[in-house]
């Protein structure tokens, strides 16, 4: 399933927009695993960049990666710091596992380099605060890799909320689930605590949180009651060909939470990498004038799972309006993510997916982990940066 998800990102039929190739941005890639493939596939469509360097902790991995991608081997480094120290870079893609997002991003920003960091932003709220501090101090851009936001249907959800059609929003329900989808296509970096830090909650949970929080304007989270478990990931029978993965599994495969947000909004959330159910339910937005149903996605290919349905009263009659979905364009979401980041770097614009919003996404994830660990509701305090 995981390969299938990535394959959707690979093809793209959108014409490459006209860009100024007068100055080529020098790009470095940190981490040459699975997701770096999607970054490279998008970068090679951008005529105004050159990939000058790549770093990976695993010796020989960069060379193999370049061969697989059919691109020349650039300067190769054994880690992010030696690459940043030795190259004049304009920007880096941080394509490492979650545990090293913060250190790689902060190091790059401290050396005056713009950063596109893969999702989730990091592992803890403390790291997210440090990343944002480094970004602000540097005057450079730190954008977080939430490409589903760039899908036309996701934008439509936000447009509907902003139109006022739903009235005052008081409840949002989001989440997603796979019946059998613990991501181990290329090894165990997603499931080990020392590389991933958090499981389904951060991997796909961050997307479903972003879908609705972005739509309703990212209200500040205040308190959370969270739960997480790992019944499937720790069961050797889950992996018939790799029962040893169960021993390595050190994260969550299911999480649920009830979060209070500023503005008297309740967020009801659940996410699963594995469960005995086909879906955790559709996403819902309830407002005083209307409600919106967003059919569950295939968790997560970046789009919605079917037409949006608006529930509202028209002249006193309970009515449902189906909003026709836009053509699925998942193939281009990675290109759009990279292109919008490069344009922001060149024009000195705001980051396309800014940390001032995603810090709340990370704060909720951090709060769910803290609450689950202590077994009660906890406060969420996001320091001003």
Rounded least distance, CB 63 to ligand NAD, Å: 13
Q: Is residue 61 within the footprint of ligand NAD (CB under 6 A)?
A: yes
Tell me how far apart the alpha carbons of residues 86 and 63 are, in angstroms, rounded to a whole number. Answer: 19
Taking CB under 6 A as the criterion, the residue among 39, 45, 80, 336 binding ligand NAD is 80
- Phi, psi (rounded to 5 degrees) for 82: -65, -35
Q: Is residue 118 within the footprint of ligand NAD (CB under 6 A)?
A: yes
Q: Is residue 57 within the footprint of ligand NAD (CB under 6 A)?
A: yes
Place of tokens 């851009």: 141
Rounded least distance, CB 79 to ligand NAD, Å: 4
Taking CB under 6 A as the criterion, the residue among 31, 226, 287, 290 binding ligand NAD is 31
Q: Is residue 56 within the footprint of ligand NAD (CB under 6 A)?
A: yes
- Cβ-Cβ contacts under 8 Å for 76 (sequence gap 6 or more): 53, 54, 55, 62, 63
Taking CB under 6 A as the criterion, the residue among 40, 92, 104, 123 binding ligand NAD is 104
Q: Is residue 30 within the footprint of ligand NAD (CB under 6 A)?
A: yes
Query: SS3 for 3?
Result: helix
Taking CB under 6 A as the criterion, the residue among 46, 52, 76, 95 binding ligand NAD is 95
Rounded least distance, CB 133 to ligand NAD, Å: 20
- Cβ-Cβ contacts under 8 Å for 42 (sequence gap 6 or more): 12, 334, 335, 337, 338, 339
Task: Output the 3-class SS for 26-86.
Answer: EEEEECCCHHHHHHHHHHCCCCCEEEEEEECCCCCHHHHHHHHHCCCCCEEECCHHHHHHH
Taking CB under 6 A as the criterion, the residue among 48, 50, 63, 79 binding ligand NAD is 79
Strand partners of residue 272: 177, 254
Calculate the CA dihedral of residues 6, 18, 114, 124 and round it to 10 degrees. -30
Pairing state between β 283-287 and 169-177: antiparallel
In 288-370, where do the E strands start and end?
290-294, 308-314, 317-323
Site for ligand NAD in 190-209 (CB under 6 A): 203
Site for ligand NAD in 243-272 (CB under 6 A): none
Tell me how far apart the alpha carbons of residues 66 and 74 are, in angstroms, rounded to a whole number. Answer: 9
In the complex with ligand NAD, the residue whose CB is nearer, 84 or 261, is 84
Residues in contact with ligand NAD, counted by CB under 6 A, come to a total of 27
**Among the listed residues 182, 201, 181, 196, the one whose alpha carbon sits nearest the alpha carbon of residue 256:** 201
Q: Is residue 89 within the footprint of ligand NAD (CB under 6 A)?
A: no
Taking CB under 6 A as the criterion, the residue among 119, 140, 149, 248 binding ligand NAD is 119
Rounded least distance, CB 369 to ligand NAD, Å: 16
Q: Is residue 33 within the footprint of ligand NAD (CB under 6 A)?
A: yes
Kindly indicate which of the ranges 57-65, 125-133, 282-290, 321-329 contains the residues binding ligand NAD, using the contact rule CB under 6 A: 57-65
Tell me how far apart the alpha carbons of residues 31 and 351 are, in angstroms, rounded to a whole number. Answer: 21
Kindly indicate which of the ranges 89-97, 228-236, 281-289, 308-316 contains the residues binding ligand NAD, using the contact rule CB under 6 A: 89-97
Taking CB under 6 A as the criterion, the residue among 12, 25, 27, 35 binding ligand NAD is 35
Place of tokens 């396309």: 352
Q: Give the interface with ligand NAD as residue ranges (CB under 6 A).
A: 30-36, 55-58, 61, 79-80, 95-98, 100, 104, 118-119, 145, 147, 186, 189, 203
């Amino acid at each position: 399933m995981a390969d299938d998800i990535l394959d959707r990102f690979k093809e793209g039929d959108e014409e490459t927009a006209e860009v100024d190739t007068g100055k080529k941005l020098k790009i470095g890639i940190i981490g040459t695993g699975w997701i770096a493939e999607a970054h490279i596939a998008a970068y090679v469509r951008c005529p105004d960049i050159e990939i000058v360097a790549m770093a990976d902790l695993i010796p020989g991995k960069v060379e193999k990666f370049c061969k697989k991608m059919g691109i020349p081997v650039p300067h190769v480094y054994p880690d992010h710091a030696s690459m940043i120290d030795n190259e004049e870079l304009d920007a880096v893609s941080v394509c490492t596992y979650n545990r090293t997002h913060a250190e790689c991003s902060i190091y790059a920003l401290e050396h005056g380099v713009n950063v596109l960091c893969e999702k989730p932003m990091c592992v803890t709220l403390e790291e997210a605060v440090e990343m944002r501090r480094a970004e602000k101090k540097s005057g450079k851009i730190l954008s977080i890799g939430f490409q589903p936001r760039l899908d036309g249907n996701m934008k439509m959800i936000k447009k509907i909320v902003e139109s006022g059609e739903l009235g005052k929003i008081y409840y949002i329900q989001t989440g997603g689930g796979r019946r059998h989808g613990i991501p181990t296509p290329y090894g165990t970096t997603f499931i080990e605590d020392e590389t991933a830090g958090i499981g389904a909650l951060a991997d796909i949970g961050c997307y479903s949180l972003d879908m609705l929080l972005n739509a309703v304007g990212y209200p500040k989270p205040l308190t959370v009651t969270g739960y997480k478990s790992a019944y499937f990931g720790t069961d050797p029978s889950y992996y018939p060909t790799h029962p040893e993965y169960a021993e390595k599994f050190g994260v969550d495969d299911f999480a649920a939470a009830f979060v209070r947000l500023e503005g008297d909004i309740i967020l009801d959330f659940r996410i699963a990498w594995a469960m005995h159910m086909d879906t955790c339910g559709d996403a819902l937005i309830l407002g005083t004038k209307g409600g919106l149903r967003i059919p569950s996605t295939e968790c997560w290919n970046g789009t919605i799972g079917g037409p949006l349905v608006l529930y509202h009263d028209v002249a006193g009659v309970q009515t449902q309006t189906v909003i026709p979905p836009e053509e699925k364009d998942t193939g281009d979401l990675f290109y759009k993510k990279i292109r919008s980041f490069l344009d922001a770097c060149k024009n000195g614009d705001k980051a396309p997916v800014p940390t001032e919003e995603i810090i709340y996404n990370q704060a909720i994830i951090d709060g769910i982990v803290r609450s689950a660990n202590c077994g009660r509701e906890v406060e969420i305090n996001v320091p001003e940066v």
